[in-house]
Structure 1
Amino acid sequence: MAPIFLGTHEVKLDSKGRVSIPAPFRPTLSRQGFDGVILFPSYKVDGAIEGCGQDFLNQLMDSVNSYELFSDAQEDLSATIFGAAHQLQWDANGRIVLPEPLIATAGLTDKAVFVGTGALFRIWQPERWAAYQSARRQSAKENVPSLAVKPQGGGGGA
């Protein structure tokens, strides 16, 4: 089963940069063979940190490696994602220490919001998250996106 991250979880950030990985996220990450997380500045969204486990990072690597080796596109993606990534193991209480560059990227002070996005999650400064979420909801209302829900399993038919 593919890893999935759901929900919005606000946590405290202490003066040492420690933050607790939300409890619902930890089993999903641990099943990937590492009691920790991989974090990097969002490639798509300014002011957010992307988080994932080893499985998704491997998928990203496969995608980046699909570009011609040493091409500008491959170099851009490699530097942006892997060059800025941090592999962080959590302690017995599920806490990690966020590196200063990531704290600065997200503008974090005393709180952080972990937001599940399915295959990965993002970490936001709470007010930035609220503004982003509001803008995304408005965009969804205006653009009326629709999803084709794919049936799972070997469902029937004659």
Structure 2
Amino acid sequence: MVRAFRGESVHKVDTKGRVSIPAGFRRVLEAGDPNFTEGLNPELVIVYGGETRDYLECFTMDSIAKIDAKISRLPRGSKKRKALQRLYHTHAHPTSVDETGRLVLPAKLREKIGLNGEAFFAGTGETFEIWSPEAYDASIGDGGEDEDFDPDVDPEVYLDGEED
């Protein structure tokens, strides 16, 4: 059974960047971490890159492995592969949930998305997003991206049509 991140919630962020993850999201992270066993903390990858992104995208270990496989099928040295590697490898923060069900978001990530005081969690199926509540509200109704390569768009558009 594939578990999905569903729902939305707002959680307080303390001055050290600690924020509680919704309980249902923690269960999905556990199910999506092949190394998880009871008593351990599930791992995840937070992607923060992309000039047009004003949110953090959080992946289970299984989900990021699927992305890695798609990237590895692209021609080495291609602009699309380089853009995706930059987003999913370079601009990524591997981490784990702590013993109390929280994430510690480094200052760099909080500053990137303007996170102060509260974080908005949005389930998006295979991933979940962390937004400042104001940025999420402002994003409602935005249009999609162009599928041709454009260095000014989110490189994630290049995953469309790739085989698993």
TM-score range (shorter-chain normalised) is 0.7 to 0.9
Query: What residue number does 1:37 align with?
Result: 44
AA aligned to 1:71 is S
Cα deviation, residue 42, structure 1:
5.5
Q: 1:19-30, aligned counterparts within 5 Å?
A: 19-30=19-30
Offset of residue 66 of structure 1: 1.6
TM-score computed with the length of structure 1 as normaliser: 0.79
Q: Which runs of 5+ in 2 are unaligned?
A: 37-41, 144-164
What letter corresponds to residue 29 of structure 1 in structure 2? Answer: L
Tell me by how many angstroms 1:70 deviates: 2.3
Residue 46 (structure 1) aligns with? 53
- State the alpha-carbon separation in 1 of the partners of residues 50 and 70 from structure 2: 14
Match of 1:144 in 2: none
**Structural mapping, 1:120-135, within 5 Å:** 120-133=127-140, 135=141
**TM-score, with length taken from structure 2:** 0.76
CA distance in 2, matches of 1:26, 1:45: 27
Partner of 1:57: 64
Q: 1:96 aligns with which of 97, 103, 117?
A: 103
Tell me, yes or no, if the aligned pair for 2:11 and 2:119 is still in contact at 8 Å: yes
Q: Across the two proteins, how many residue pairs are aligned to each other?
A: 137
Q: Is the 8 A contact 1:43 1:81 kept in 2?
A: no
Indicate conservation of the 8 Å contact 1:106/1:125, yes or no. yes
Distance 1:62 1:44, change over 3 A: farther
Is the 1:42–1:50 Cα contact (8 Å) retained in structure 2?
Answer: no
| CA RMSD, 1 decimal | 1.9
Separation of aligned partners in 1, 2:51 and 2:23: 26
Structure 1 unmatched ranges of 5 or more: 140-158
Higher radius of gyration, 1 or 2: 1
Query: Runs in 1 of length 4+ with deviation above 6 angstroms?
Result: none
Q: Which moved more, 1:22-31 or 1:85-94?
A: 85-94
